[in-house]
Structure formats: C-alpha cells, structure tokens
Chain A
Amino acid sequence: MSESQQREMHWQKTRSLMIIHLCIWFFFSFVVHWFAKDLNAINFIGFPLGFYMAAQGSLFAFVVQLFIFVKQQDKIDREFGMAEDDNA
C-alpha cells in the first residue's frame, strides 16, 4: 500500500471509530435520560434506575468508554504506521 492509501484507510477507520463512540455518547447522554421516568420503576443496586443513570451510570459509561477509545485509536494508528514513536 502506498503512503496515501495508508492515510486514506487510517482516516476511514478513525472516522468509523468516531461515529461509533458518538453513538454510544448519544445514548448515554440523551436517550437514557429521555426515559428517566419509566426507568425509575426499575430497581438497580438499590437505586431507581432513572436517577441512578443521571447521578452515576452515564458517568461510569463515559469514563470506561474513553479509556477504551484511547486503546482503539492507538491500535488504528499503529496498524497503518501513523503512530508516533513510543519514546517520543
């Protein structure tokens, strides 16, 4: 593969990863809270679920999501030779 093809593939994968993570973000930011009232009927480790998601659940999801994102993006960078030197 030529350098420009490599770049093209790298960017395609990066873009797909972005879209996937923004979908997850959208779900935990907006979708779950839109249904907070209904979710409150469900009990989750002692909490009404609607309240739990706003007070903790979504926050947990964001933190975990970001650490996974960092790993995934780094893998893409390395796969196409676009990563920085490790000791940089």
Chain B
Amino acid sequence: MSLKLKGDFIDNLPKIYGLYTGGFLIFVLLMALLEKNGVGADTIGILFVGFTIVIYAAIGWLSRTMQVDAYYVAGRQVPPVFNGMATAADWMSGASFVAMAGGIYMGGHAYLAFVVGWTGGYVLVAVLMAPYLRKFGCYTVPDFVGTRYGGNTARLLAVLVLVIASFTYVTAQINATGTIASRALQIPFEMGVWFGLLGILLCSMLGGMRAVTWTQVAQYIVLIIAYIVPVIWMSNKQGFGIMPQLAYGDAVARITELEATVGLGTLAKVAAPVDFPGLKALATAHNAPGDGMAAWKFVTLAACMMLGTASLPHILMRYFTTKSVRAARNSVAWSLFFIFLLYFTAPALATFTKLQILDPSLATSIIGKSIESVMALEWIQKWHEVKMVAIVDANRDGILQLNEFFMRADIVVLATPEIAGLPYVISGLVAAGGMAAAMSTADGLLLAIANALSHDLYYKVIDPKAETKKRLIVARVLLIVIGGLGAFVASMKLTGILGAVAWAFCFAMSGLFFPLVLGVWWKRANRAGAIAGMAVGLGVGTWYLYMVKWGGMTPWIGLDHLRFGIVGASASLIAMVVVSLMTKEPDAETQAMVDEIRIPKGETVLGSH
C-alpha cells in the first residue's frame, strides 16, 4: 500500500477500504474460531480492542505530514462518499454507540428526540452552512468568523465558544474510551482513560486532518459492522428476520402488552442500592408520547441537538476537506446516510433487548423468574460485579419484579449480546465498535480545538510570521496538552456521558449558530453584531445553565439544563440583529466577499495561506 503516493491513494480508496473490510471480517471469523477452540473471553476482548487500535495507529503513522494544507484540511481532496464515512465516525460518539440504545430502553419515545435531532441537524448543515464555508476556503471555523466579520475580537470569541463546546464534549469521549478499554483490557478506569488517550493521539498527532480522515473511515467500518451484526443476529433468533429495522413493529406492540402485565407504572418505586451509583429500574413506557408539555420537551430537545449539530466545529470542518463546493454538499448527504444506518437501528436494538428481558415466552427473560435463577445467570453476575446491575428483592417473595431490577442504561449495547446468549466474539466486536466510535469523535474534537488554538490564536494573532514548521509543531504540542487535560478531567468522572454531550451542543448553538448562519445569509450582519451575538449567547446560555442546574432556579417553560441552548441561541439572535442594525453596515469589500461565497464557482475567498 502506498499511502504516501497521494494521487494513487485517492484513486485506490475503494480497493484499499474494501480489502480492509474483508480483512476485518476475516479477523472476526478467526476470533470466532479461537473461541470455539476454547480461548477465553478475556483474551478475545483484548485481541479485538488491541488489534483495531494498532491498525488505526498504523494508518495515523502512514498519513504523517509536514504540509499545512494536508495537516489542516487533508489536502482538500477527500471524495464525498469517504468524507461522508469519516464524518459519520466523527459524529457518532461513544454516546451514540454506547448510550443511545440504552437511553431509548429506559426513556422510550421521549428519548427518540435525540435520534431525530442528531439526524435532522444535517439538513441545516447542508442547506445553510457547509457549502458556503467550503467556498470560503478556511482552515477552521473561527477562521471564517474572523475573516467575515474582521478583527481579532470576533475571531477569539469564536475560538472561546469552540473550546468550551468541544472540550465539554471531548471529556465525555475520553471517558467512554476509558470505560471500554478498562472493561476489555481489564485495567482500572483511570488507566483506561490514559490508554485511550494514547490511541487517540497516535491517530491524529502526526498527520493532523489527513490522518484523522483516513482513520475515521476505518473506524466507521468497524463501528457500523459492530452495531448492526448483533442486532440482525438477535432479530433472526427471535424470528423477526434479517431486516429487523423494518419488522420490529410487532415487538413494540408486544412490549406495550407486556408492560401492563408486569405492572409498569403501577408498582411502587424501590430504592436502588446506595453503593451502586447511577442505576435505574425501568419505569417509563416504551411508546407513550404525551401531548402538551411532553410534546414541547420532545421538540425543544430535538431543536437543541439540530442547531448544535450545525454549529459544532469538528463537524463543519470535515466539509473543508472536499475538493469542491458541490462535493461538500454531496458529502453532507452521504454523511447523513451513513449516520442513518446506525440511528435507525438503535431503536430496534432497544426494543429487542427489552423484549428479551420482559417476554416470559423467551428463554432470556428475567422478569417474573425466581431471583435465585436470575442471579445464577452469567451476564447478571458479570455486570453485578462491576456494579452496573443490581437486584433487590423488595417484597421478599423470591420472584424478580420489574421494580426490583436495576441497571445502568449505558450498558444496554455492551450487554445485549450476553443477554441474548450470543457467543463472546460478538461482545468483543461490540467493544471494538464502541472504542472506534469514542476514539474517532475524540480525534475530531481534539483536532478542532488544537487547530483553532494553533491557527487562529497562535498564527493569526500571536505570531503571524511563524514559519510552517513551527506552526505545525505548535499544533502538535497543543494537541498533546489538550488531550492530557481532557483525560485528566475525564478521570475525575464529573458528568455522565450523555449529560456532557447535550451540554456541548447547547454551548455550540448558543455561541456560534447565528453568527455562522447570518454571516452567509444576511449581508447586513457586521462585526459589532457578531461579537454581541457570540458574547451574549455564550454568556446568557452559561448563566441559565448555572441557574437551572446549581442555582435552584425553576426552568422557564420546561427548558431544563439539557435544553439551555434554546435560551442562549435566542439571546444570541436578538443581540446580533439589534446590535447589527444599530451600527454601520459592513464595508463594500466585506459585502463583495459574502457575494463571492454564495456562488460555487471561482477561487476560494481565502487563498492558500
């Protein structure tokens, strides 16, 4: 393989990744064979996670570069379909892979707001943002803000929002890599976090965006296989066929029936054991959307995730790597398609898992069985040991009721193969997939932060005369420092995976959504307006989050801490429009620049720099 011969490499992409996919499948079969021959589950887990990380690191090494264009935007030559896969991996984080099906399992319909929000956001990316930012020709998102509005204040505010949003997000990802690495490799969580970071840095440090792009494509292939194979297997076992996503309607109906017989919603609440933090008993119906406030909560959460999607710099910057504006647009559509493959599977997975546990006609069910027999199950014992599953016989009848079974929502995806009694090789595959999902997102986020600091803060503000070599060294040092900080914060376990992710979206939309959109779509938007928009949006959003989460304030119309972006972004819009109209319109040069980004043809606004 000649990864360094660029022209060849791009032309041969389908072949290279085809071989890679085939190789990975052979590896999976090999593991299955080893399992058959009595190799222990632990060894298989270690091989899965270890082998895939070595591959990613090798791709990272082969993609090393000392060219600015390759480091920041992968040389602007990534074909749309491959950029779509890379974006999908960049996008689907540990939260999507590990926590989403679990969230749907526990939260039912209300939780599907995440599924809708995390896909619908791409419509905004394609229609409002990506093609125009690509035409602009910037290296980073603050680069656009800084040039469109002019002046260091605007640029630095954009860097600030980017760092806050992305750093919140990246700690959650490093946390997820730590969780998975610690389970698969049997090391303590804190060590798992640093181990995960090492893998992430190996993928990104030497080759910047170019290395991240090609590892993310490899990671997407692993994660999508790892997500879909177990679901198809399980559904086939239960008689729902091999396209479970289209056939699980009956399972939804069956769960609704079963919920009545097991007494969901009528049983008294039992307290979870105190030494098992974060465990919950199932108490929400699978399919019971409400109206009024419940509907409001659904649409506001979806809105936050969508506007956040369209403002998150690590996603937007993926579209800087395509060859043309047309390719950028095309690539957004492909990204959404690849993301869709996982997201329309997640509700199916949650539904099947719930059915496995509830349905007394299935051998896997545990509700209504004797506690003694449930405690003897291998998966219950294993997850009980790590304090992620607990059973309390509250009414002392020796039978497990729904309100007596507790588990952490996060484990649904990882534990499902074991619940369904699939061979361990599947669990190993799922662990590798979760690792790929968390690593690929962490890569993209770390790179977004380090690039903004090295390009926008260091090169554009502090030392505009710095030579290429120095710029790229600064970028790499920053990558290590920020990664280390992220791992340090993650090892303190401050927030759950999901809470932190939702906050990142809200921070991003509060500070960046309107300055970016109006920068393209409203010529009259000017520097003072943009500065006001970013500062007020970020300020009001942060204040509201603080007041609702810690300050004891009653949320306004149900906008809780997961939805603070609505408040922040509204404030940002008002501030930006009012201040823009009160101050002078942008000069002719700026207006001409906006005209230029609105048409695909011609040179990019920023030449190579």
Q: Which residues of A contact B (CB under 8 A)?
A: 7, 10-11, 14, 18, 21-22, 25, 28-30, 33-38, 40, 43-48, 50-52, 54-56, 58-60, 62-63, 65-67, 69-70, 73-74, 77, 81-85, 88
Contacts and interface: CB of A to CB of B under 8 A. Distances in A.
B344 interface: yes
A34 to B, nearest CB: 5
Contacts of B344: 55-56, 59-60
A10 B123 contact: no
Contacts of A77: 326, 599-601
B343 A83 contact: no
Interface in B207-258: 245-250, 252-253
Nearest to A31: B299
B249 A25 contact: no
A47 B249 contact: yes
Contacts of A14: 598
Interface string B498-541: 00000000000000000000000100000000000000000000
B578 interface: no
Given A33-B289, A69-B333, 17 more contacts: A22-B127, A25-B120, A25-B123, A29-B116, A30-B302, A30-B303, A33-B298, A34-B299, A36-B289, A37-B291, A37-B295, A43-B249, A45-B249, A50-B289, A67-B333, A74-B329, A82-B600
B246 A45 contact: yes
B109 A36 contact: yes
A7 B127 contact: no
Given A33-B298, A51-B109, A55-B347, A63 B599 contact: no
A36 B108 CA distance: 13
Contacts of B323: 88
B370 interface: no
Contacts of B249: 43-48, 52
A62 B122 contact: yes
A88 B248 CA distance: 45
A73 B291 CA distance: 37
B416 interface: no
Contacts of A40: 287, 289
8 contacts: A30-B299, A36-B298, A37-B290, A40-B287, A45-B246, A51-B289, A60-B344, A66-B333
A29 B336 contact: no
Given A59-B340, A82-B599, A34 B247 contact: no
Contacts of A51: 109, 112, 252, 287, 289
Contact of A63 (B250, B291, B340, B595): B340
Given A48-B252, A67-B333, A77-B600, A56 B347 contact: yes
Interface in B238-292: 245-250, 252-253, 287, 289-291
A50 B109 contact: yes
Contacts of B128: 18
A33 B115 contact: no
A70 B319 CA distance: 14
A57 to B, nearest CB: 10
A33 B116 contact: yes
Given A11-B598, A69-B126, A83 B116 contact: no
Nearest to A32: B116
B109 A54 contact: yes
